Amino acid sequence: MTVSSAPGKVYLFGEHAVVYGEPAVPCAIERRATVTVDARTDDHIRVEARDLSLDGFTVEYAGDTDYRPDVDVPEGLVDAAVGYIDAAVEQARDAADAPDAGFDITVESEIPLGAGLGSSAAVVVAGIDAATRELGVELDPESLAEHAYRAEFDVQDGQASRADTFCSAMGGAVRVEGDDCRRIDAPNLPFVVGFDGGAGDTGELVAGVRSLREEYDFAADTVESIGDIVRAGESLLADADPDAEPTDDLLVELGRLMDFDHGLLEALGVSSRTLDNMVWAARDAGAHGAKLTGAGGGGCIVALDETPETRTALRYTAECRDAFRAELDREGVRVEASGTDATPAGSTNTEAE
Ligand code: MEV
């Protein structure tokens, strides 16, 4: 048995534009998905999921992971959850050169599904890490991020950037521009997250931005302007002391850029009334800035506020289901536990990467 966990994230800046080669700065937060994997002696996959969005389900299937089980939970949720797990299993089998490996997989997550906090990336990263370790293969975080990206890319029909998966594998603040992914220094910013209880469809939202961008030059310019915001934000971070509390000036300037970024995302059609209402509640409460995080359409906003005011205001906002402070998590994927009480099936037990 191997248990691995990986963090979720918020986007300080740059979601959507990162899909078109602009830079983005996601930051890992201290909310994790934990995946327990037991290698089986046959090629079956058994998945048990407990999550904030899923009341819990268990499915078992064999061989062809395209098979969809007949279970009594909404099909969309099963498809979303099982789709990412299937893709993670395929990547783990590929990385360990063990095409017939079967697994019992349990997913427990503190990250709501499809809400902009990188739940799927965290599940995929932790799942590949635990499954490959079960097969005797230890991937370094960069290789793990690469396999996790391929998994997301497959599930999202080629419309995924490396941002979510790289951030979850590495932890901390990262900068992603096309294939160039790196960790960057950043102070522990006072993130406050508001969650409307909903979720967006990443594939649909990304496709919507793509068609706007193809139809209108001004939409393409808007995507480029988000890239300009990211560049301005990262130079602010580069000048800041990562080990000190962020200064007021830094928070004010980052907040202004976050507000601008939200406005552009709104113009690209990926915000929603609930997200906008939470953004305005945060600003009215004195947050330095607030924006949606992730694909949008519903889910979460992130605000910057070192005081308790924004969190309190969000908790009294009708559209807000939950509001919490999110500390920067400087640790990416990690092994929580491991044991030798299962025999890997079909493993060649080689260091395949
Ligand atoms: C989704 O968390 C972030 C998007 O930029 C898509 C991606 O980067 O793959 C909308």
Question: Residue 38's domain spans which residues?
Answer: 2-184
**Ligand 1 nearest atom to the CA of residue 19, by list position:** 8
Residue 334 lies in a domain: no
Using alpha carbons, list the distances in angstroms from residue 353 to 13, 142, 145, 343.
32, 11, 12, 22
How large is the average pLDDT for residues 42-70? 61
Report the distance separating Cα 229 and Cα 205, nearest Å: 21
Q: Provide the β-strand partners of residue 334.
A: 5
Report the distance separating Cα 52 and Cα 202, nearest Å: 18
How large is the average pLDDT for residues 122-149? 97
Q: Are residues 17 and 144 in the same domain?
A: yes
Which among 10, 20, 161 is the best mutation to test ligand 1's pocket, defined by most ligand atoms within 8 Å of the CB? 161
Residue closest via CA to ligand 1's atom 2 equals 294
Over the stretch 77-103, which tens digit does the pLDDT of each residue have?
667 778 889 999 999 999 999 999 999
Mean pLDDT (the chain, rounded)? 90
Q: What is the Cα 92 distance to its own chain's centre?
A: 19
Tell me the three state secondary structure of residue 2: strand
Over the stretch 178-200, which tens digit does the pLDDT of each residue have?
999 999 999 999 999 999 998 88
Spatial CB neighbours of 44, under 8 Å, sequence gap ≥ 6: 60, 61, 62, 102
The predicted structure's pLDDT at residue 349: 38
Q: Are residues 119 and 211 in the same domain?
A: no
CATH (domain of 29):
3.30.230.10
Report the distance separating Cα 115 and Cα 128, nearest Å: 22
Over the stretch 299-326, which tens digit does the pLDDT of each residue have?
999 999 999 999 999 999 999 999 999 9
**80, 202 in Cβ contact below 8 A?**
no
Over the stretch 144-176, which tens digit does the pLDDT of each residue have?
999 999 999 998 888 889 999 999 999 999 999
| Ordered alpha helix ranges (H), the chain | 75-95, 119-134, 141-155, 163-170, 202-215, 217-239, 248-267, 273-284, 309-315
Which among 202, 264, 275, 302 is the best mutation to test ligand 1's pocket, defined by most ligand atoms within 8 Å of the CB? 202
> 3-state DSSP helix/strand/coil percent for the chain, to nearest 5?
40, 25, 35
pLDDT at 271 over 70: yes
Q: How far, in Å, is the centroid of ligand 1 from the Cα of 185? A: 22
How large is the average pLDDT for residues 287-307? 97
Q: How many other CB atoms sit within 10 Å of the CB of residue 307? A: 12
* Tally of domains within the chain: 2
Q: How far, in Å, is the centroid of ligand 1 from the Cα of 270? A: 11
Q: Which residues are catalytic?
A: 164
Residue 350 lies in a domain: no
Tell me the three state secondary structure of residue 151: helix
Q: Are residues 43 and 159 in the same domain?
A: yes
User: What are the two backbone dihedrals, phi and then psi, of residue 45, each rounded to the nearest 5 degrees?
Assistant: -120, 125
Report the distance separating Cα 5 and Cα 129, nearest Å: 9
Spatial CB neighbours of 38, under 8 Å, sequence gap ≥ 6: 1, 103, 104, 134, 341, 342
Residue 125 lies in a domain: yes
The predicted structure's pLDDT at residue 52: 42
Q: Are residues 162 and 215 in the same domain?
A: no
- 32: nearest Cα among 126, 128, 103: 126
Over the stretch 203-239, which tens digit does the pLDDT of each residue have?
899 999 999 999 999 999 999 999 999 999 999 999 9
Q: How confident is the model at residue 113 (pLDDT cuts 50, 70, 90)?
A: confident
Q: How confident is the model at residue 345 (pLDDT cuts 50, 70, 90)?
A: very low
Q: How confident is the model at residue 275 (pLDDT cuts 50, 70, 90)?
A: very high
- For the chain, what's the residue count? 353
pLDDT at 241 over 80: yes
Q: How confident is the model at residue 177 (pLDDT cuts 50, 70, 90)?
A: very high
Using alpha carbons, list the distances in angstroms from residue 206 to 15, 160, 260, 338.
10, 9, 20, 38
pLDDT at 242 over 90: yes
Structure tokens at 113: 């599904």
Report the distance separating Cα 223 and Cα 335, nearest Å: 38
pLDDT at 60 over 60: no
Q: Are residues 119 and 99 in the same domain?
A: yes
Ligand 1-lining residues (CB < 6 angstroms): 15-16, 18-19, 160-161, 163-164, 202, 206, 294-295
The predicted structure's pLDDT at residue 178: 96
Which among 16, 113, 155, 300 is the best mutation to test ligand 1's pocket, defined by most ligand atoms within 8 Å of the CB? 16
Structure tokens at 70: 């007949």
Angle formed by the axes of helices 273-284 and 248-267, to 10°?
160
Residue 336 lies in a domain: no
The predicted structure's pLDDT at residue 47: 87
State what percent of residues in the chain have pLDDT above 90: 77
Q: How far, in Å, is the centroid of ligand 1 from the Cα of 339? A: 35
- 67: nearest Cα among 56, 58, 79: 79
CATH (domain of 235):
3.30.70.890
Q: Are residues 198 and 267 in the same domain?
A: yes
Q: Are residues 152 and 275 in the same domain?
A: no
DSSP state of 18: G
